[in-house]
Structure 1
Amino acid sequence: MYKKLTALLIATSFCASVAMAADTQKLTIQTIYQTGDVNHRAIERFAANVKSASAGRLEIDLRTIGSVVGYTETVDAVAAGVLDGHIAFPGYFSGTEPGLGAIADLPSGYDNPYQAQMMMEYGGGLELLREMYATLGMYTVGALWSGVESMPVAKEVMKVDDLKGVKIRAPQGMASILFEKVGASVVNLPGSEVYGAFEKGVIDATDWGTLAMNEDAGLHGVATGFIHPGIHSMPLIDFSISLDRWKKLSPDLQTILTMATRDLSRDMIQSNAVRDAKTLQSLAAKSVPQYDWPVEERQAFRKTASEVWASYAEKSDYAKKAIDLQISFLKEQGYMQ
């Protein structure tokens, strides 16, 4: 009798294990970060949270930037079934839909990531981003931010007029147009060439990342100062997966993934803010000049930026919707007149 009971328990346990294994779903996701990056570490915590909250029924298989496809090729890879989704900058795909670039980074639009987060969560931004990605066969689970960007510079830049003649590395898009509009000379370079370009005097400033990210890249060693808080960029990162894969997830797994993504956004913003604060103190101890623009200069820069926004809005219906939505939100919240 005892042997029969033991056999029955073993068989039941085996069947349960087989059933659990059969129920486990895996999402292969490529990020735009390298292993060890503060943001990638936050995403690893996110993946662990999803697995734990789902009792192992949903696993996130993370791949670093470029490990499967190029960072601008993830949407095509999802369509081909090579990837299930990505954690990426929507602006990479603005050539397909300019509206993605408009909602991904409104230059000089937000003072901190929480303002952008509120726009996405409560101002209709997330719904619009989902609508745009749906045209590409993807579903946006949520939006993420790495924090307030900073700008290493090789000369004192305390006001808009100081940007005239400055050779600045900036990605293509509204940010480049804005810098050119205020008299800067824009140089388009991949991130891997920024340090060398600074060192050789090819550029005098760069739109790159947060204060700590710039420090990690060694940029404060070749720059003479830095603009902080940044005046130019608050890039949004999206976590989007195949629309078909999303629809096949059970309602509870969809909820787990959504809530875990919201927590990931908090984790990324706050972990970057902690590192930025430490970096700021370290740079101050080394007497590296910080250029914190006064309110009136930030407002003047935003006024010029709004002209760039208006021009970009003409690129597509979605671009206009994205620009109008954000301007409306900024005005409603009293962030701009």
Structure 2
Amino acid sequence: MKKLTTTATMLSIAMTTGAMAEPEKFNMATPWPGGQIMKSANRFADRVKLFTNGEVEIEVHVGGQLGGALKVTETVRNGVAEAGHTWMGYDWGVDRTTVLFAGWAGSPKTDVFGAWLTEGGGAELQAQFRDEEFDVVSINCGLGSPEVGMVSNKKIQSIEDFKGLKLRTSGAWAEIAVGLGASTVTVPGGETFEALERGLIDALEWGSLGTNRNAGFHDIAKYSIFPGIHQPTVIYECLFNKDAWERIGERNQQMIAAAAEVEMYVNYTERGHEDAEAYQFLKENGHKFIVLDDEVLVEVARLSAEWADKVAADNPWFAKVLESQRAYEALWENSENYR
């Protein structure tokens, strides 16, 4: 797929081309039970229909309707669904490299991560990696603000507080947090509320303030723990079955990429707005905000770098992406001084 010049150029092409008699209809698998992330997926689908002049229509399905909720990539690759909307880190059990593209404990901040993807070659690496290792077409379609570190029934602030903590998480953090003494488990999003409510877990990480507020976690847990040490940023991915992708032709492929490009920005600003509103709401309703001790942040940085170096030693793709990400992040060193 050719790199986009500008979204405006793509829209100009879209408005001058007639529609097909019969649209290509794609089913889109997701891991999402609903909420803001599902809203973003549906908005992307609506924009695809608009940009392609109705030549491609996408129907979005909640998690578990089309294959396993955490098996979106497999569902798309096998053709059970033509498309998917997911967080790539759910495939970390297949290849740890996925978390580097999805956001992890050692990620750059959101603005740097986004710039690495679009300007630093990250998106091209991602497309090649997903093609070669998972046999799917991959496009970024969502960029999120830092997540809440944890929603918890317990006050968590020091390293000692992590000892024996039953934590729902996923991706790299499921392994890294063990170094702090936590016991980690991965469950689909639709099961997290019940797990916390029933005491099967002490804490969970799921999304940003707005996403967590919309999920109602504040009704069953009184603490939000900051910062989002496990996820300084989050990237959502749109996947396509390769046979289905080829059927729609180059022009519609570029229109879909343009729709994803727009949704990256819209998703980012929407999440920021919802986070601000959620903070005010939660504060007014007596929710407690806890900031982790500096010693925790230092130890997490050490554990994350150690984990990444260990994985890179045995995984050429991981090593290649990690090197690119770290080199690009170095360009932004001390950038707060001039921005």
TM-score relative to the length of structure 1: 0.82
Residue type matched to 2:68 in 1? G
- CA deviations over 1:76-119 (Å, ceiling 9, x no partner): 333433321211122233333332233323214234x3332222
Asked if structure 2 preserves the Cα contact closer than 8 Å seen for 1:103 and 1:323, the reply is no
Structure 1 Cα separation of the partners of residues 49 and 195 of structure 2: 43
Asked if structure 2 preserves the Cα contact closer than 8 Å seen for 1:106 and 1:309, the reply is no
Matches within 5 A, 1:242-257: 242-257=241-256
Structure 2 Cα separation of the partners of residues 73 and 297 of structure 1: 32
Q: Which runs of 5+ in 2 are unaligned?
A: 1-17
Q: Which runs of 5+ in 1 are unaligned?
A: 1-18
Candidates 117, 122, 130, aligned match of 2:119: 122
How many residues matched?
Answer: 315
Structure 1 Cα separation of the partners of residues 213 and 77 of structure 2: 37
Residue type matched to 1:194 in 2? T
Structure 2 Cα separation of the partners of residues 74 and 196 of structure 1: 22
- CA deviations over 1:8-64 (Å, ceiling 9, x no partner): xxxxxxxxxxx94436333332223235x2222222222222222222222223222
Residue type matched to 1:80 in 2? N
Structure 2 Cα separation of the partners of residues 95 and 162 of structure 1: 27
Post-superposition offset of 1:260? 0.8
Let me know the Cα RMSD of the aligned residues. 2.7
Candidates 183, 186, 189, aligned match of 1:185: 183
Post-superposition offset of 1:170? 1.9
Post-superposition offset of 1:174? 1.8
Post-superposition offset of 1:225? 1.5
Specify whether residues 154 and 86 from structure 1 end up closer, same or farther in structure 2 by C-alpha distance, changes over 3 A only: same
Question: Which structure: larger Rg?
Answer: 1
Specify whether residues 56 and 203 from structure 1 end up closer, same or farther in structure 2 by C-alpha distance, changes over 3 A only: closer
Residue type matched to 1:158 in 2? Q
Residue type matched to 2:42 in 1? E
- CA deviations over 1:274-323 (Å, ceiling 9, x no partner): 11111111111123221234777534422321111112223421122222
TM-score relative to the length of structure 2: 0.81
Asked if structure 2 preserves the Cα contact closer than 8 Å seen for 1:147 and 1:268, the reply is no
Structure 2 Cα separation of the partners of residues 270 and 196 of structure 1: 30
Structure 1 Cα separation of the partners of residues 185 and 31 of structure 2: 22
**Residue 96 of structure 2 aligns with which residue?**
98
Post-superposition offset of 1:134? 0.9
Aligned sequence identity (%): 23
Structure 2 Cα separation of the partners of residues 302 and 264 of structure 1: 31
- CA deviations over 1:226-265 (Å, ceiling 9, x no partner): 1234221133221121233334433332221111101112
Specify whether residues 87 and 195 from structure 1 end up closer, same or farther in structure 2 by C-alpha distance, changes over 3 A only: closer
Specify whether residues 23 and 185 from structure 1 end up closer, same or farther in structure 2 by C-alpha distance, changes over 3 A only: closer
Deviates more, 1:200-209 or 1:224-233: 200-209
